[in-house]
Structure 1
């Protein structure tokens, strides 16, 4: 499960700690991280559960990312996970 744990940790850090002007880095990394779970139902469920816990909290003003960009990234992560189950 280690690659998935690493991917989740990286995804959460990218979502919350990359400054707004690093949007391209986030957008480029997210598909690669989500690709790790493709075709693996148990891994996908694990990733969803952890990401939901980490990203369903309200925006923290101590994060490097603004509230608006956090919401955009959060939605992108959840849409990416949803697309894998269709």
Structure 2
């Protein structure tokens, strides 16, 4: 199953995803991988530099070629609060 690397952005507290050349708030821009070695190395480097924290890989499925989380917890992290659709990332979509 493909995965993407996620973390929290230290300066803003936003949920972010590794896109290969940096971090993005949009999970659909993340790089999906089968082997987390390179993403883990980059995430660890950025964690040591205190750019991100609590990084870990999440399972995704590809929808129209773009990653989307498979677990509800990660869908909420990717979208925003489930009780207020006018707030969070889902309001921007």
More strand per residue: 2
What's the TM-score, normalizing by structure 1? 0.32
What's the TM-score, normalizing by structure 2? 0.30
